[in-house]
Structure 1
């Protein structure tokens, strides 16, 4: 069976859109200067940044204060001051987001009662690589990014299906004509070494460029962890004419995460004496390679109207070869290994976004069309045979030995089309009405490369958002919103025959909150209440438990609080707290067992963060705590990851105006804790106590 050639139908209008914008180039006259560019994050952000424009929650560039939704941003300066070496370190200091990452899913989070890469969308500078087989690998580290922005709650109106819980966007540092250079070098526990270099400057008389490079390695605090990563981010902006700008990016990233799938439980408990052990095979391999190219033309038709066309190409290659399942046998005092799994992903995505923006008077409007084609090839050694037994300590790890050959399993071609419109209208000086709708259409063709039947499926999603912000004064806002969205039952790119007959799940949220800035921005706080319900999750047919149907539902309701305040000239405190009451409203699993009232997996009832900063003269210091409550690992709520609190600290010294030396201290109490589970018999342990010394230059 051949895949249908949908690419040609989708690419024709893409090419026409590009030709339309290019024709404008030929008709316009050249200019000698760059147009005015608004650079987000040119100044150091402290606090919640309520006055700052947020481009993740909406395409209308509303400020966080005006946006009728829960939004948050973490600046590069804040992440650096706290010593956050990975994006997930920074994200999990924001309100209500917890880490569920593992070597199998790459990077993953939980928010507002929903977990995983099919419910939490991750973007890099506004571009989203569709999720293949539940895996997302970027963005991983914060070097080269100006902000990490978070929208909590459904984001389907802006980004399509798969964003019920939250949307995370890493915003790049923008090219500047004024030349600058920054560099960083670090050494620390776990044999960690890392270095970064970034620079920007003028490109001729009408452009600017930026280059950011980064490389790092460590042993991952376990035997044979051997984690390495590196990336190169390049971008430029150029004024082709007085009214036409070109922006472009070309990026390459490679990651080899630590080859660690968790530590087995001993008598149902975390085993401190096995903390350094890695039960993977000696020749295990995990590798992610990501490439991206983006070109965007922006035509300012008039002071009120701008039209842009953005063409993006993204490619991801992933490879796993590991023994992934471990069980401690107390009788034999041995660890039994199984699931010798080899998997490869080859994914290519070409996407185009044609968009028009109108900004005049009291009205802001954006409308657009998005189209993409995605080719996904899945290779594996199913049914993943192989087993071995090793001693708990001092063992020979052996080699990957499976009786099942690695061979291509299936391929999918996915064509997506979306139409959207958003409008923000100032009813008066105090009331802002925000409305948006979006229609998504996903067409998936799957071919089995092992002789099984193929299929074609079409999935449709319609989403909407209606919100109102009421400004009680220049620095105080009340807001409310109703929004809808959708999530796939499984990754769209790896849709199988069993799930092809199902539609996308439906979610809807009601949210209200308050945002306030005090003392000219020296103190800011926000609070939100929300309720989300998701329908059409897979459940068993009550009249025939042998059949699976769509009819289950789950919901969450909760409260979130965030605050940042300058206590005195040298002191600042940042704090947040999230309470989540999540449950299955209707779910029947095998054996006709009802899970109604049970909490979904990976969802803590409470999470919180606290960070205290001190800055005086050439010195700065910080200390903070992260708390994550108990999380169940099964729908029956029979087994749970224990709650934990981790303490961190930093100490920095400005040698001069260009050089900063900083000591980052992590897990000061050397807490033994599980960050997430990989199975009911093994948990992934958090890093032990360690320190890192960094030197940073800015010129």
Structure 2
């Protein structure tokens, strides 16, 4: 049963001075947002028109492609697939979690539970944080042991851009499937304030505060504060967190700009690791139970400091530099593996994990942008050094309990958490990219990136220490041809690379492995209607990945030599049918298989990788109207995911699902919005992601169920 009430902590947060005046709303319907000039810099502030009521701007084909190319060409001219989702779009859908926003883009299937908010996806047949990267303002975020929980929510960000396919030319290793780049809100010279108050099912509460404006003649700033709390849908799944984001900009002239960014985040996610399954299906009688300990814990803290400067020497040359430092402290103490034994009505518990991660990453990116006639050339050098410290409680216990036994009350092991090892990884990347306008209709985009990583591992015991070096070469050659003023045809060849495991946690078993390589061929079409009322794209691709870990059939030892391919078709569209009706949606068809792979003594050639859906689709229908009370919009959305395998051997399936969502918004004035969102309208029971349990008997496994029906209300104010 769902519960809905306003948490006491939020009551009275909206001051009386923010009461809405009873005035007629001045509304314009069907306004299209355009960008007259593409920014010449990655950090340039977008030029946006003034509108009184916002409407969906489509797929952003006219926007600068800062996430798809360092040259800043328009998305329509980029010979690659890129999704563009702005704040207005995710607000009207009622999305606030970054995993939901990214997961609604074409072909991106979230794999982590909604309660945990980790950014873990499947894209174009490849899964996990070693193949699908996350970046903020173009800087790829450090990953330790397949965990990327930042940024977990959308407050303080203006848009998300998802580049699909190998993106190592821009972001380095670990980006063969796709890369999502989250772009922050920028300082402004105009004083702006934003307030968001939200409440919902399971005692959920959210509060967001944002402010930007000038500080004298040359300084401006942006600050965002956000907090959330929830009792959770399952037992012992309470969560809460907060963050602070700030940017100070100094711009003494039109050719010089410097910025300092300071952020911090503190999250306590739900201590919930799913529910047992049988033959890939959730056991309904166990749903809602939490087999973790009552004193389990998860803590995720992030601190980030960045300084960047850009100087335009003349019309032909611009130099920019970004220095950054990231720090992440993470702690887990949980029982994470559960296996159902129906014959005895028991649950086997395993993976008693108590561990901590301490990650520091410092880096610098120096870049020169050269405008030379028909060429826009970007040359860069990026260096980063990551230090990772790992501690764990070496407890290999397991136990079996009856399905009706009371849950564990205390962590069973009193041994101390001890340092285990530390690693250091220094990476140097050199890259060059050129956007060459061969004619008014024909653009050629090419680039190459060479990366070298020196990694060292230092076990506390001193046994098993080693050094290793990883090389990676990425390149891209693509071309876009304008068939007419509104239609672009493109094609590209790209090469990227992924690690066989997380670089910071390499051990003596995989220290000799090299980076896997993947090559992609892609063709596509991007089109805008002459009246600006519709945009659509279509892309077809094939990716071949080599050197994945397999087993040598003669020596029975693990080695590199496995192969995987994926091929598919992706379609996205945004259509304004009438001044009142809009539709946007996407469809992805994927065929992914292992060409050569021996795993655990099984030949998996021809098998589909686990948690890869052959079909995914998203659809939203919006209706708006105006009356004496103001502007109203009703939205209905659906997300469909086909059947997936829970294991690489394809012995267990997770059923497909379609989940419906709805949102209703009301603008009584131009700067005030009230919104009601209903998630999972039909209260569908479905599997978010599934695995075959390492502690299971045949047919048993474990899954993260999707969230049930949930209600949320928000009030958004700008002044």
The Cα shift of 1:676 comes to 0.8
Q: Tell me the SS of whatever aligns to 1:65.
A: helix
Gapped regions of structure 1 (runs ≥ 5): 1-34
What is the CA–CA distance in structure 2 between the aligned matches of 1:250 and 1:36, rounded to whole Å?
Answer: 19
Partner of 2:641: 628
Structure 1 stretch displaced more, 578-587 or 240-249: 240-249
Return the match for 2:224 from 189, 199, 212. 212
Give the 5 Å matches for 1:539-688: 539-544=550-555, 546-591=556-601, 593-617=602-626, 618-680=631-693, 681-688=701-708
Give the 5 Å matches for 1:215-226: 215-226=227-238
CA contact (8 A) 1:274 1:393 kept: no
Return the match for 2:266 from 246, 254, 263. 254
Q: Tell me the SS of whatever aligns to 1:655.
A: strand
Q: Tell me the SS of whatever aligns to 2:318.
A: strand
CA contact (8 A) 1:105 1:134 kept: no
Partner of 1:438: 449
Return the match for 1:239 from 236, 251, 254. 251
- 1:294-341 CA-to-partner distances (Å, cap 9, x unmatched) read 001111110221101110000011110001111223344332322211
Query: Cα 1:423–1:549, aligned 2, differ >3 Å: closer, same or farther?
Result: same
The Cα shift of 1:36 comes to 13
The Cα shift of 1:690 comes to 1.2
The yes-or-no answer on 1:531 pairing with 2:542 is yes
Partner of 1:114: 126
Structure 1 stretch displaced more, 387-396 or 95-104: 387-396
Structure 1 stretch displaced more, 677-686 or 184-193: 677-686
Report the number of matched residues. Answer: 662
- 1:477-511 CA-to-partner distances (Å, cap 9, x unmatched) read 00000000100000111111111111100110000
The yes-or-no answer on 1:144 pairing with 2:145 is no
Return the match for 2:378 from 366, 376, 383. 366
What is the CA–CA distance in structure 1 between the aligned matches of 2:280 and 2:389, rounded to whole Å?
Answer: 38
- 1:666-687 CA-to-partner distances (Å, cap 9, x unmatched) read 0001000110125432111111
The Cα shift of 1:605 comes to 0.4
Structure 1 stretch displaced more, 133-142 or 264-273: 264-273
The yes-or-no answer on 1:414 pairing with 2:421 is no
CA contact (8 A) 1:41 1:146 kept: no
> Hey, which bits of structure 1, 4+ residues long, moved more than 6 A?
none
The yes-or-no answer on 1:397 pairing with 2:403 is no
Return the match for 1:492 from 484, 492, 503. 503
Structure 1 stretch displaced more, 229-238 or 36-45: 36-45
The Cα shift of 1:406 comes to 2.1
What is the CA–CA distance in structure 2 between the aligned matches of 1:629 and 1:308, rounded to whole Å?
Answer: 45
Partner of 1:483: 494
What is the CA–CA distance in structure 2 between the aligned matches of 1:351 and 1:366, rounded to whole Å?
Answer: 19
Structure 1 stretch displaced more, 608-617 or 391-400: 391-400
CA contact (8 A) 2:279 2:652 kept: no
Return the match for 1:71 from 82, 85, 98. 82
The Cα shift of 1:279 comes to 1.3
- 1:440-498 CA-to-partner distances (Å, cap 9, x unmatched) read 00000101113422000000001110000000111100000000010000011111111
Query: Cα 1:305–1:573, aligned 2, differ >3 Å: closer, same or farther?
Result: same
CA contact (8 A) 2:280 2:654 kept: no
CA contact (8 A) 1:47 1:564 kept: yes
Q: Tell me the SS of whatever aligns to 1:85.
A: coil
The Cα shift of 1:240 comes to 4.3
The yes-or-no answer on 1:167 pairing with 2:167 is no
Gapped regions of structure 2 (runs ≥ 5): 1-40, 694-700
The Cα shift of 1:266 comes to 5.2
What is the CA–CA distance in structure 2 between the aligned matches of 1:598 and 1:135, rounded to whole Å?
Answer: 26
Q: Tell me the SS of whatever aligns to 1:265.
A: strand
What is the CA–CA distance in structure 2 between the aligned matches of 1:497 and 1:693, rounded to whole Å?
Answer: 52
CA contact (8 A) 2:70 2:433 kept: yes
Give the 5 Å matches for 1:305-320: 305-320=317-332
Structure 1 stretch displaced more, 149-158 or 39-48: 39-48
CA contact (8 A) 1:129 1:349 kept: no
Q: Tell me the SS of whatever aligns to 1:527.
A: strand
CA contact (8 A) 1:385 1:403 kept: no
The Cα shift of 1:42 comes to 3.4
What is the CA–CA distance in structure 1 between the aligned matches of 2:672 and 2:120, rounded to whole Å?
Answer: 35
CA contact (8 A) 1:385 1:402 kept: no
What is the CA–CA distance in structure 2 between the aligned matches of 1:614 and 1:93, rounded to whole Å?
Answer: 20
